[in-house]
Amino acid sequence: MALMIIDRVPLNFKIVSTFRTIFYIATIGSSIAGSLLIEKIQRLHLLYLWMTLGIASSLLLTNTYNVATGYLAITFLLLGVSFGLGMPSCLAYLADHTPIESRGLTSSVVFFAANLSALPVTIAFMNFDLTINAIILTVWRGLGLIFLVFLKKEEKGNKPRKTEGKHVSFMSIFHDRSFILYLLPWVMFCLIDILEKTVLENFSEPDFQHLIQTIGPVVASFSIVIGGLLADRLGRKRVVIYGFVSLGLAYAIVGIAPTLLIAWYFYLIIDGIAAGILWLAFVLILWGDLSKQGAREKYYAIGSSPFFVRPIIPFFLAFFIQLIPASAAFSLASFFLFLAVLPLVYAPETLPEKKIRLRQLRSYAERAKKVSEKYLKKSNIAG
């Protein structure tokens, strides 16, 4: 939401792009700092600091007219810090208090509720000036501080366990084979997705761009819930592979038939579905599955970094993106997405096999029960 305010700052494109870069770099840096700070202070205290800093930095946005660019740069630096500092702890809290067999559904509901609650705020942002928008953002962060009161009551009766095993460092995380096998496809997806979106902005008509911006998020929001259900039923690995393969197929069809309108609509729907599933899996679910209680903040800090590096890639690679022919961009994207599936083939399933088998047995039992009920009903009618 802060980025919507950045885009409306009355400055030239390069300066606004610089502010966006500052925001994202500050988000990544502060999330890493927050994952280290959690070892020194209690999680709840860090979350209070996170929300208070968010309120203070949002108030600074009320004075964005006729001020020096240095003031704006510091403001968006603080906004990035206020966004990233407590994010790993917030995600780790969700993972700590969610059973692994229902983590997909719970995460999808949280993700969907966040998108849904952000809708009226986004509409308000589009209809008011910068000062009013800054006040709305301040109130929004203030509501988060109020909700922490209820979180405090929850933690009194359900304190997280200490880290299992030895101390987990960032270096040890990068030596975790399972983590790397999931991180590599995630990095590749983020890179390909933003490059293709940038190429599409230069290639497609403004009306289709507007269609992508309106329909795409709606499709992604509903696919998040479906993806959460499937992740708990089929397993994380299989759902992620389905997401990559379907998106690669959509890119391939557009690359083969770029002049067919139906190919673009197919791409629009599949892109929304796959994006929702992959965002859910790589932002909320997988890093919680791969880590242990007390060490999850570092996994989330590293695992979420590609998501925040993604928007600033066009700022540094704008010249090279213009050299890519639009006709070949989608075919190349399809090829690299299929390559991204290779590490997933060797990645372990993070949902225990026993949980998957148990769900399948329950499903078979329910089907058998329905069949037997139909058979008994027919027997009674015949008798």
DSSP designation for 167? P
Q: Are 196 and 152 found together in one domain?
A: no
Q: Are 375 and 345 found together in one domain?
A: no
Q: How far apart (Å, rounded) are the C-alpha atoms in residues 329 and 339?
A: 15
Q: Are 151 and 197 found together in one domain?
A: no
- Does some domain include residue 164? no
Task: Identify the burial level of 249 via C-beta atoms within 10 angstroms of its C-beta, where 0-12 means exposed, 13-18 middle and 19 or more buried.
Answer: middle
Q: Are 357 and 245 found together in one domain?
A: no
What would the two tokens of residue 236 be?
């994380």
Q: Is the pLDDT of residue 165 over 50?
A: no
What would the two tokens of residue 55 be?
């309120």
Q: Are 184 and 308 found together in one domain?
A: yes
Mean pLDDT confidence for 245-253 = 88
- Does some domain include residue 323? yes
Q: Are 196 and 318 found together in one domain?
A: yes
Task: Return the biggest CA–CA distance within the chain.
Answer: 89
58-113 pLDDT, tens digit each: 888 777 665 677 777 888 898 899 889 999 999 999 999 999 988 999 999 988 88
Mean pLDDT confidence for 25-37 = 93
What would the two tokens of residue 141 be?
């962060």
Q: Are 24 and 46 found together in one domain?
A: yes
Q: How far apart (Å, rounded) are the C-alpha atoms in residues 251 and 9?
A: 35
Pick the last residue of a domain from 118, 139, 159. 159
Picking from 198, 200, 196, 187, the residue whose alpha carbon sits closest to that of residue 315 is: 198
Is the CB of residue 280 less than 8 Å from the CB of residue 108? yes
Q: Which residues, at least 6 apart from 161, have a Cβ–Cβ distance to it below 8 Å?
A: 293, 294
Q: Are 214 and 328 found together in one domain?
A: yes
Domain around 27: 1-159
Q: Are 363 and 246 found together in one domain?
A: no
CA distances from 194 to 198, 314, 317 (A): 6, 8, 11
- Does some domain include residue 165? no
Question: How would you label 312-329 residue by residue, b for 16+ Cβ within 10 Å and e otherwise?
Answer: bbbeebeeebeebeeeeb
Q: Which residues, at least 6 apart from 156, have a Cβ–Cβ distance to it below 8 Å?
A: none
Q: Are 151 and 201 found together in one domain?
A: no
Q: How confident is the model at residue 157 (pLDDT cuts 50, 70, 90)?
A: very low
Q: Are 123 and 179 found together in one domain?
A: no
Domain of 116, CATH number, reads 1.20.1250.20
Total domains in the chain come to 3
Q: Which residue is it, tokens 């280290």?
A: 36
The helix (run of H) or strand (run of E) holding residue 291 is none
- Does some domain include residue 43? yes
Stated pTM of the model: 0.84
